[in-house]
Chain A
Amino acid sequence: MVIVRSKRQSRITGWARYSALVAAALLFLVPFYLLVRSPFMREQDLGSPDFHWLPPVWETSNLTGLFDNPAIPMARSLLNSGLIAVTQTVGVLVVSGLAGYGLARIPYRWSNAVFYTITATLLIPAAVTFVPSFVLVSTLGWISTLRGLIIPGLFQALATFLFRQFFLGFPKEIEEAAFIDGLGYWGTFWKIVVPNSMGFVAAIGTITFIGSWNAFLWPLVIGRDQESWTVQIALSTFLTAQSVQVSQLFMAALVAIVPLLLMFLFLQRWIVEGVERTGIAGD
């Protein structure tokens, strides 16, 4: 008797759970729906008193208009964002991968001291120190340069820390065999360890890429000239400008997220793993 009731009950809770999921999922998709719909609306339809689920007229001129708009250097900013995200991702992987391996595997008297020097900075989020970093970068004359946008972001203590933890768990026997074969630290790392760690590398890489593409505060502080704007700065300038053509603004937003959404769809597995392993968000 008890079992029968609990079975029926569990079917009811099952349906309730499912409905809640579907409702929440629809709610979460609304902003994406708006992002896809709005760029193809005419300005007067976006501003009309009636809400339109679909554009009454599909307008595609916003795409070409966007790249012809002299106030918003869309093509240039996309290029900048791509360059910055790719070099920063590769740079972080190489610099932190090497450092993490050295800390994990090469015995050295001051290894622990170095490790604590690195982890101490984990307590200080990079965003909080943007004023000091700005002072340094402006002294170097790197304002409005790709150098200034890329290089200070290459040295991420968290990535190094995570690589070290990961390499500590790497099967030592494989490395020892390589070592006996005369590969040395350098050869062992590049020929044996890295090819067998591609999953972890992909996880850290995708998370770094997303963070770099979506970064806002640092590019805002450093990218003073239009030529050095990233796509986020271009969007933000567009958004807070005096007079805005809303439909074109939405087209810019759509263009800005398409690369990441594509990447997301293909690399979701690694992104999820990256989040699970790192606990870091893009910001």
Chain B
Amino acid sequence: MTGSRPAGSPRPSLGRRLRGRQDRNLWFWVFVGPFVIGLVVFVYVPIAWSIYLSFFESYNTVTPTTFVGVGNYVDMLRDPAFRNSLLTFLAFAVFIVPTTFVISLGAALLVARTRVMQSFFRSVFFLPTACSYVVAALVWKMSIFSGIRSGLANAVLGWFGIDSIPWLSLAEPPWYWLVIVTARLWLQVGFYMILFLAGIQRISPTLYEAAAIDGAEGWKVFRHITLPQLRATSTAVLLLLLINAFQAFDEFYNILSTFGTYPPYARPPLVYLYYTALGSGQDFGHGSAGAVILTLIIAIVAVVQGRILRLGDRGD
């Protein structure tokens, strides 16, 4: 803390050091200290503790005694339910990442080129961002995709003479995917649209003027100017989409669980972890091992994507 204090000089009192000539080292810690202490206590300590717990058998206790080595990790990786949760994430990501990307980019392009009521349209797409996943899950489950005829989706099908679909029933085909994906789509499209809009507004108009002189229009302009210029934004959007999909919990939990029980299928990693660590078993050993594995996966994805992002920047 007092690294640059000249050796041998007497140490003045704290009050004098705060009031008198600015002691930079001290003031640095006055400003940064509260945050760093909080970060250590509420982020680093829990993670370290969890790594410790992950090597022990610890049911219902956070001070375990039975050391099991990497046993919990082996169990987790062998557990078909855990592997299924990763597959569930992959399936979810395959649906949600490209659809959100395309629709939010499309919305941004449409909004950016509209002169009439531009801010109105922007607000409409952005408004769902203020909505919580719980509220969206409620509307989706109880109104749009309720299995009955008065649910909006089935009412629309009814106008075309199509039978009602039990969207959330256990029967095949798995219609619940449509419910879950569209809910998240509605909630997050506006957010990514804003990111794309900001990117589009940064593109220099001279590029478009040059393209117009060359006679390029429509798709060609998009393909050769807009899209390449949005490369940094696109990479960031893809990374955020992937990380957010990995953390999916709220809409799965609220749409799929009924009467306080969650079906055995469609459990993404955090839902699986929630029921393992905080369900009736309170299995902190396996829960911690699972958390460590998931943290590693997400950190690796972020680092790799960060690399790609930086490479992309250099290429521009």
Does B135 touch A at the CB level, under 8 Å? yes
CB interface residues, B 238-265, toward A, < 8 Å: 240, 243-244, 246-247, 249-250, 253-254, 257-260
Given that A47-B150, A221-B278, A250-B142 are contacting pairs, would A214 and B132 also be in contact in the complex, using a CB cutoff of 8 Å?
A: yes
Residue contact B150 to A50, C-beta cutoff 8 Å: yes
Min CB–CB distance B271 → chain A (angstroms): 10
Q: Which of B80-88, B90-98, B168-176, B186-194 contacts A (4 or more CB under 8 A)?
A: B186-194
Cross-interface CB contact of A106 among B28, B35, B62, B253, cutoff 8 Å = B28
Residue of B whose beta carbon sits closest to that of A136: B46
Q: Which of B8-16, B71-79, B223-231, B294-302 contacts A (4 or more CB under 8 A)?
A: B294-302
If A117-B36, A132-B291, A276-B194 touch, whether A124 touches B299 (CB-CB below 8 Å) is yes
Contact A154 B22 (CB under 8 A): no
| Most B Cβ at <10 Å: residue of A48, A221, A282 | A282
Interface mask (A209-233 → B, CB under 8 Å = 1, otherwise 0): 0100110110011000000000010
- Distance of A263 Cα from B131 Cα, bound (Å): 12
B121 touches A25 (CB 8 A): yes
A240 and B254 contact, CB distance less than 8 A: yes
Binary contact track B34-46/A, C-beta < 8 Å → 1, others 0:
1110110111111
State whether A186 touches B27 (Cβ < 8 A).
yes
Cβ-based interface call for A80 (8 A): no
**B273 interfacial by beta-carbon distance below 8 Å:** yes
- Nearest residue (CB) in A for B4 is A109
Report whether A109 and B3 are in contact in the complex, using a CB–CB cutoff of 8 Å: yes
Contact with B31, one of A6, A106, A107, A282 (Cβ below 8 angstroms): A106
Which residues on the B side are within 8 Å of A281 (C-beta)? 129, 188, 191, 240, 244
Q: Are B138 and A155 in contact (CB under 8 A)?
A: no
* Inter-subunit contact A155/B249 (CB<8 Å): no
Within 8 Å CB of B132, what residues of A? 213-214, 216, 232, 256-257, 282
Please tell me if B50 contacts chain A, counting CB pairs below 8 Å: yes
- Who on chain B is nearest to A122 by CB? B302
Number of chain A interface residues as a range? 35 or more
Number of interchain pairs (Cβ within 8 Å): 292
- Contact between B290 and A99 (Cβ–Cβ < 8 Å)? no
Given contacts A135-B50, A275-B194, contact A128 B298 (CB under 8 A): yes
| Chain B contact surface mostly | helix
- What chain B residues lie within 8 Å of A124 (beta carbons)? 43, 47, 295, 298-299
The 8 A CB mask of A97-124 against B (1 = contact, 0 = none) is 0110111001111110010011001011
The complex places the Cα of A1 from the Cα of B3 at a distance, in Å, of: 77
18 further A-B contacts with Cβ under 8 Å, apart from A34-B144, A186-B30, are A17-B114, A50-B149, A51-B150, A52-B150, A98-B34, A102-B29, A103-B32, A106-B24, A106-B28, A131-B291, A136-B45, A157-B39, A160-B35, A214-B134, A236-B134, A236-B137, A261-B127, A281-B240
Binding site for B on A (CB under 8 A): 6, 13, 17-18, 20-21, 24-25, 28-32, 34-35, 38, 46-52, 95-96, 98-99, 101-103, 106-111, 114, 117-118, 121, 123-125, 127-136, 138-139, 151-152, 154-155, 157, 160, 184-186, 189, 210, 213-214, 216-217, 220-221, 232, 235-236, 239-242, 244, 246, 249-250, 253, 256-257, 260-261, 263-264, 268, 271-272, 275-276, 279, 281-283
